[in-house]
Amino acid sequence: MKRICLFFLALLFILTMNQAGWSQDNAEHYKVDKIVLDAGHGGYDSGAVGKHSREKDITLAIALDAGMIIKEKLPGMEVIFTRTDDSFVKLHDRAEIANKNEADLFISIHCNSSPSEKAFGAETYIMGLHKTNENLEVAKAENAAILLEDNYQEQYDGFDPNSDEDYIMLNMFQSATMEQSLEFSQLLQDEMRTSAGLYDRGVRQAGFVVLYLTTMPGVLLETGFLSNPGEEQFLLKQENQLKIAEAIANAVIEYKHTTDEKLTELKTSTGHNALKPEKTQKIYRIEFISLKREKPANDKMFKGMEDVWHYFENGRYHYTFGKADSFEKANGLYQKAILNKKIKWKYLKSAEIVEFENGKAIKKIKALDNLKN
């Protein structure tokens, strides 16, 4: 009876979330400011074992390297690890770490294994129904970690990692975030091929407990096969672990940039007002700087500025202040800013008036500094 109730709850949840999409009200749910890196297995759970390797060691090294690179390339990004040493972390605890921290993206890192030594390459999984028996076997292998936990039947509501039917239920609850998970998984697979140099086995779907329990977009990455002697040697080398870590970091960076571009059409994640012009209405703003990285709303750069807003274009964040319905009025705001001396001159001296139509920047004109001439 309990499982029947859960089934209908899942259906209701999906029907509700499918109405969401990208909108002004739920835009905050799709920001990417905090991620969780989950190094698979650990402690007395070795994971897949090769002739000279253990999955738990390789996944930890890759996760730590990836976190370091992400922090370096995206200083504003918060990176959380489910483990930073050789310790056993229960699957539901890994998910709880992500959920309690309200993470925006969950990445579980693993190494693959197969009865055949010929299998090779990287593949990324999102939560879903297994399309093939091969996908199901991968899910069963990773989910088997719950059997090492005390009271696992109670913790996972009687879920049996060896029962095919139980995987149908797992898929239902993750449909709401599948679109975002799929978008990131495709970026990740591209990077695994181009940056890490691994064969691309594609994006797949299967029922993973650790993805089912998380409430944000998430993927499970299988970096390569420890059962393949050649790929095992590849994964054991520190320089190759770093390549995989860089691939993960690059995918995160690209995903954030792509998401930011979508969000700027709705509202900015820094708390500045979003530009919402009426159809065919032209708006003019004063652009004073463009940056590679986003700034928080309380940054001292914005001192003395009103109606601060930014848009993302050509890989940069373009910051503006003021708002008017004509170039002349916008230029008047610019000259007033000079007179007030509340804004540093270095931000005003090269300012441009940007013309927006239907929310898109279509023209830039050098601000006329009549007061200085």
Q: What is the pLDDT of residues 106-143, one digit of tens each?
A: 999 999 999 999 999 999 998 765 444 554 454 455 55
Q: Which of 337, 332, 345 is nearest to 289 (CA)?
A: 345
Residue range 282-366 forms a domain whose CATH class is alpha beta
Distance (Å, whole) CA 183 – CA 181: 5
Contacts of residue 339, defined as CB under 8 A and 6 or more positions apart, other chains included, come to 371
- pLDDT band at 171, cuts 50/70/90? very low
Please compute the mean of the pLDDT values over residues 4-12 and round it to a whole number. 39
State the average pLDDT for the chain.
78
Q: What is the DSSP letter of 249?
A: H
Please compute the mean of the pLDDT values over residues 262-281 and round it to a whole number. 52
As annotated, the residues of the chain forming the CATH 3.30.70 domain(s) are 282-366
Which amino acid would we find at residue 249? A
Q: What share of the chain has pLDDT > 70, as a percent?
A: 71
- pLDDT band at 328, cuts 50/70/90? confident
pLDDT (0 to 100) of residue 300: 86
CATH architecture of 2-263: 3-Layer(aba) Sandwich (3.40)
Please compute the mean of the pLDDT values over residues 306-323 and round it to a whole number. 87
pLDDT (0 to 100) of residue 116: 94
* Span 57-92, pLDDT tens digits: 999 999 999 999 999 999 889 999 999 999 999 888
Query: What is the maximum span of the chain, computed from C-alpha positions, in angstroms?
Result: 81
pLDDT over 60 at 155, yes or no? no
* Span 9-20, pLDDT tens digits: 343 333 333 433
Distance (Å, whole) CA 305 – CA 164: 59
* Span 33-65, pLDDT tens digits: 999 999 999 999 999 999 999 999 999 999 999
Contacts of residue 251, defined as CB under 8 A and 6 or more positions apart, other chains included, come to 184, 187, 188, 190, 191
pLDDT (0 to 100) of residue 329: 87
Q: What is the pTM of this model?
A: 0.60
- pLDDT band at 312, cuts 50/70/90? confident
* Span 178-217, pLDDT tens digits: 778 888 999 999 999 999 999 999 988 876 776 777 778 8
As annotated, the residues of the chain forming the CATH 3.40.630.40 domain(s) are 2-263
Q: Which of 14, 63, 355, 363 is nearest to 178 (CA)?
A: 14
* Span 272-282, pLDDT tens digits: 444 443 344 78
- pLDDT band at 150, cuts 50/70/90? low
